[in-house]
Structure 1
Amino acid sequence: MGTLLRWLPPLLLAAALTYGFWAWIGRGIELPPAPDPKLACVSYTPFQGDQTPYDRTLVIPPEQIAADLDHLKPVTDCVRIYATDQGIDQTVPLAAERQMQVLLGIWIGSEPESYEPQIARAIELAREYPQAVKAIIVGNEVLLRGEQSGERLAELVTRVKAATGLPTTYADVWGFWQKAPQSLVDAVDFMTIHLLPYWEDDPKPAEEAIHHLDYVLETMQAQFPGKVLMVGETGWPSAGRAREDAVPSLVEQAKYLRLFMRDVAARGIDYNIIEAFDQPWKRHQEGAVGGYWGIFDGARMAKFDWFGPVSNHPDWQAKAGLAVAIGLVCLGIARFRNVTAGWRAAWLFSFLALAGGSAVALQLDRASLITVSGFDGAVETGLLLQSLLVLTLALRPMPTLGTAPLAAAVDWAAQARMPVPFVGLLRFAVFVGAATVALALAFDGRYRGFPLATYGLPAILFLVIQIRAGVFLKPSADPDLADGRLSRVFSAIFVGCGLYLLWAEGPKNLEALAFVAILALLTLNLAGAWRRDAAFAANGAATAPTG
C-alpha cells in the first residue's frame, strides 16, 4: 500500500498538468467577427466519403445534392459548381427550387469530346433556369494546367455568352490572368481571379495574407482599368502541413475568412469562398491539406461559427482524457510485475507516462486527418503501435537497450534466429521510418506533413532509455562493426535531409524546424555506435602487427 501511495501524488499532478496542457491548446481564440452572417457564394462539389470525380461511372444522386443545398441555405444563397457531368448539373434546378443562385461552371480540358457535352448541357441549363444562373464560368485554371490557349478560351467564352445572353467569365489564378491574351480579357464580362495566399510562392500567415489580398486587387485593377473583378476562389485550410509561417488550422481558417469578408465588404467586391464541404478525395492529390478547405467538415458539421471564439481542439477534454488513459495503461503494463519505485523514479515515470500519452493522442489526431485509404489506415495503426511500444519500454524498470543493437535486428531478419532482438527491431523500425519520411520530405515535400509526435516521442524516449541503461554516448562492448555502418547510413540521411529542410523550408516554418530537431535527436541516438567504431579503430591500430 505504501508503494502505491507513493505513485499517487505524482500521477495526480501529472494528470492535472496534462489537463492543463490540453486546455491551453484547446482554448478559444478571440477573433474579429464576420461582417455578415451570410457568405456571398461558396464552391460546391458534392462528393462524399469514397466518392471521387475520377470515378467516371459515378452519378451523384439528386437527393444528395438537395440535402447539401438545404444544409448550405442558412449560410449562403449562392454556390459555385465546376462541371455539368456526373449528376452535378442537377444543382441548378435544385438551387432554383430553393431560390438560390449558381455560378455555373463548365470544365474545360484538353479534348473537345470531353468538354463539348458540358458546354451543351450548360447552355440548356442557362436557358431553362436563367433566374438561377448568376453567371457562367467557362473553364477553371485551364491556363495554369496548360490545356488550352487563351485565344481558344476567348472563343469558347464568346460562344457561350452568345448562346445564353448571361454574364460569362473565365476563372484562373491572378498571375495567369496577368499573362492572358487581350482577346480573353475582352471576351469576359468580368474577371474571376483566384487568390489562395496559402499556396502563393511567398506564403503568409492569415492576418498578413489580407495585406497581400489588397496588393493583388490593386495590382489587377491598375493593370485592367475599368474591368470588374470577382474573387472566384479564396480560402484557408483547417489542417495539413505548414508552408513557412502559413499554418493550416481551424483558428487560422476562421481568422482569414473573417478578415477577408471584412476587406471585400469595404471594397464592394463580389467573392466566392472555397469551399462548402471538406473533400476527402483531394487528399490523394494534395496531401492532407487538400481535403480540409471546407467551412463544413465531411460529415456536414460546421467547423466554427462566424462571430465567437474559435478553438483548434474543440474536443480537447476528450483528448485530455485519452492522453491520461494511454499514459496510465502504458505505465501499468510496464510496471505490472514491479511497482516498486523510489520517490524520484515515481515522479519521473509518472510525468513521462502522461506526457507520452499526450504525444500518442496528438499522433492519433494527425492519423485521423491524413488517412484516406485502407493502406493509410494500416500504416498509421502500425505507427501508433510503435509509439505505444516505445513508451511502454521506456517505463520499464530495467531497459535493456544495449543487448539488441540495430545490426542484431538486421541479422535476425536475414536469418530468423532466436531469441528475437525486440528492442533492436523496434529501434530499427523507428529509424527506417524516420529516414523514409525525411527523404520523402527532402525530395517530394510539397504535400507531405511533418509527423512530429510520431517520431518526436521515440527520439526522446530512446535517449531516455540509453541514459538509464548507461550507454548514452558511450562505446558499446559489442565488437560487431555492422551496427556502426548502419549508424553512418542513418546519420547521413538525418543530417543531410535536416540541412536541406532548413534551407528549403526557411526559418519561419516552425513545424519544419521541430522535425529537424527530431532528426538531430535521432542522430544523437546513434552517437554511441560512432564512438565505438572510433574506439575499436584505435585499439586495432595499437595492436596491429608491424611487419
Structure 2
Amino acid sequence: MPMLQLFLTILLSAQLALALPLNDHVDPVQHSQATSCFPALDFKMPAAVPNNTAGWWCDASTEYAFVGFSYEVTACQSRDQLHRDFNDIRHHFNSRYVRLYGVCDREGFYDDIVDAAWANTLGVHALIWFGFNLDDVWEGRRDVLLGALHANPRAKFVTRVLQFGSEPLYDGVLPHDQLAEQVILAKANLSSLGIPVTVSELAYGYQERGGAQDVLDAIDSINIHMLPFFAQDASTATNAWPLVQRDLQWFIDHGDGKKMYFDENGWPSVTSPSVQPNSPNAVSNVANEKNYYTLLDQHCQDLKNVVGGGIGWFAHIYSDNMEPGYGIYDSSGRLKFPFAPRTHC
C-alpha cells in the first residue's frame, strides 16, 4: 500500500504541474489579446511584434463616438515630444487614434510616429499631405510614406488607414478621376500590409465635383470633414445638429454603407484670416467649441446607429499651437474647457 500511495501522489503532482500553465499561469499579454483588440482602451501591447494582423484590429462597429485627436505635425515634433503628447492623448483623454494633419518632411519622421503610437497603444490615420500650393510635392511624400509603411515592421500594426488630403477635391489639387486612380494604386501598393486607403474631404468637396462618385467607390472608408461653423446657415454649436445631419446624410446616400469617421471635426473658439464664417450668425468662442463636442455626445446613439458601424469622431485639434481656435489646449498648454467625451454608448 505505501508504494501505491506514493505512485498516486507522484501521478497527481504531475497532472497538477501540467494543468497549472493552462489555468494559473496564463501570460497576461496573450490573455489580453484573446479578450481584446487593438486599439481598445483595455488592450495591452505585446512584447514582440506579432507575425500578422489576423484578429489584431477592433471591428469597425466598436469604433464610434470619440476616437481621438487630429494632430498637426508641421512642427516636426521630436521623438520625445511625440511620446509625451501621445501618452497624454491616450491616457488623459481615452483616445484610440491620432489622425495626422499637415506634414513633416524630416527623414524618418513616420518611424517616430510609429514608435510613439506603439508605445502608447494608439492607432494612426496617416496622411499624404497635398498642401495648398497646387504643386506636385505630394508625390514625393506619397512615395516616402509608402516606403516607410513597408519598411517598418510595426507600421501595419498601428496604421489603421492611409489618407490622401487634406481636402484635395475642394482645393482642386487633382481632377476626381485622377484622385480615384491614386487611391486605387495606393490600395494595390498596400494590399500585402492590409492597410486601407481613403481621402480626407468635405461633403462639399465631393459635391462641387459632381459628386466624385469614382472617388467614393475607390476609398475603403469615408473620412469626413465635419465643420458646421462654415455652413451658410450656421449660428451656434447647440443648433448645429441639422447641419451635421445634412452632410452626413449625403455620405450615407452615396457611400455604399462604408465605415465613416469625422476626422477634421470641430468648432472654432476664435476666427482668423483663414477661419471666417459664411453666415453672419455664426458664433465663435470657447463656449461654442465646447458645446459642439457636447452636441456630439448628446447624439452618441444616433452616431452609433449610422450604417457601416457608426461614426467615430476626432476632435480637431489637439492644441491651439497647431490650429489657432480649434485646440482642446490653448497656446499656453492649458485646457480651454473640461473635455471627457464619451467613447461608447
Query: What TM-score results when the alignment is normalised by the length of structure 1?
Result: 0.43
Specify which of 82, 85, 92 is matched with residue 65 of structure 1: 82
2:123 is the alignment partner of 1:93? no
Specify whether residues 184 and 307 from structure 1 end up closer, same or farther in structure 2 by C-alpha distance, changes over 3 A only: closer
Task: Please state whether the residue corresponding to 2:138 is helix, strand or coil.
Answer: helix
Shift, 1:213, TM fit? 0.9
Q: Is the 8 A contact 1:40 1:77 kept in 2?
A: yes
Specify which of 293, 317, 323 is matched with residue 326 of structure 2: 293
Give 1:105's aligned residue. Answer: 127
2:215 is the alignment partner of 1:192? no
Give 1:431's aligned residue. Answer: none
Q: Is the 8 A contact 1:84 1:121 kept in 2?
A: no
* Aligned-residue identity in percent: 23
Specify whether residues 190 and 130 from structure 1 end up closer, same or farther in structure 2 by C-alpha distance, changes over 3 A only: same
Give 1:277's aligned residue. Answer: 319
Structure 1: stretches of 5+ with no match in the other structure: 1-37, 47-52, 283-290, 309-547
AA matched with 1:93: D
Shift, 1:265, TM fit? 4.4
Specify whether residues 208 and 138 from structure 1 end up closer, same or farther in structure 2 by C-alpha distance, changes over 3 A only: same
Specify whether residues 111 and 239 from structure 1 end up closer, same or farther in structure 2 by C-alpha distance, changes over 3 A only: closer
Which whole-Å CA distance do the structure 2 matches of 1:264 and 1:172 have between them? Answer: 22
Structure 2: stretches of 5+ with no match in the other structure: 1-64, 305-310
AA matched with 1:194: H
Which whole-Å CA distance do the structure 1 matches of 2:340 and 2:263 have between them? Answer: 24
Give 2:269's aligned residue. Answer: 238
Q: Is the 8 A contact 1:79 1:101 kept in 2?
A: yes
Shift, 1:124, TM fit? 2.9
Which whole-Å CA distance do the structure 1 matches of 2:263 and 2:169 have between them? Answer: 15
Specify whether residues 250 and 181 from structure 1 end up closer, same or farther in structure 2 by C-alpha distance, changes over 3 A only: closer
Specify whether residues 272 and 307 from structure 1 end up closer, same or farther in structure 2 by C-alpha distance, changes over 3 A only: closer
2:198 is the alignment partner of 1:175? no
| Residues 214-237 of structure 1: CA deviation (Å, up to 9, x unaligned) | 222123212334333322221011
AA matched with 1:103: H
Specify whether residues 59 and 221 from structure 1 end up closer, same or farther in structure 2 by C-alpha distance, changes over 3 A only: closer
Higher relative strand content: 2
Q: Is the 8 A contact 1:78 1:100 kept in 2?
A: yes
Specify which of 132, 157, 160 is matched with residue 131 of structure 1: 157
| Residues 359-389 of structure 1: CA deviation (Å, up to 9, x unaligned) | xxxxxxxxxxxxxxxxxxxxxxxxxxxxxxx
Which whole-Å CA distance do the structure 2 matches of 1:133 and 1:265 have between them? Answer: 27
Specify which of 295, 299, 312 is matched with residue 259 of structure 1: 295
**Correspondence 1:198-209 to 2 at 5 A:** 198-209=229-240
Q: Is the 8 A contact 1:82 1:106 kept in 2?
A: no
Between the two structures, name the one with larger relative contact order (CA 8 Å, sep ≥ 6): 2
Give 2:21's aligned residue. Answer: none
Specify whether residues 189 and 63 from structure 1 end up closer, same or farther in structure 2 by C-alpha distance, changes over 3 A only: same
Task: Please state whether the residue corresponding to 2:240 is helix, strand or coil.
Answer: helix
Specify whether residues 261 and 167 from structure 1 end up closer, same or farther in structure 2 by C-alpha distance, changes over 3 A only: farther
AA matched with 1:251: A
Which whole-Å CA distance do the structure 2 matches of 1:107 and 1:255 have between them? Answer: 30
Which whole-Å CA distance do the structure 2 matches of 1:228 and 1:100 have between them? Answer: 19
Give 2:68's aligned residue. Answer: 41
Give 2:17's aligned residue. Answer: none
Higher relative helix content: 1
Q: Is the 8 A contact 2:183 2:218 kept in 1?
A: yes
Task: Please state whether the residue corresponding to 2:124 is helix, strand or coil.
Answer: strand
Q: Is the 8 A contact 1:40 1:78 kept in 2?
A: yes
Give 1:140's aligned residue. Answer: 166
Deviates more, 1:65-74 or 1:181-190: 65-74
Give 1:162's aligned residue. Answer: 188
Rg comparison, structure with higher value:
1
Q: Is the 8 A contact 2:69 2:315 kept in 1?
A: yes
Query: What TM-score results when the alignment is normalised by the length of structure 2?
Result: 0.66
Which whole-Å CA distance do the structure 2 matches of 1:303 and 1:191 have between them? Answer: 30
| Residues 191-234 of structure 1: CA deviation (Å, up to 9, x unaligned) | 22212111122222111111211222123212334333322221
Specify whether residues 62 and 255 from structure 1 end up closer, same or farther in structure 2 by C-alpha distance, changes over 3 A only: same
Q: Is the 8 A contact 1:83 1:118 kept in 2?
A: no
Shift, 1:164, TM fit? 1.5
Q: Is the 8 A contact 1:104 1:136 kept in 2?
A: yes
Give 2:16's aligned residue. Answer: none
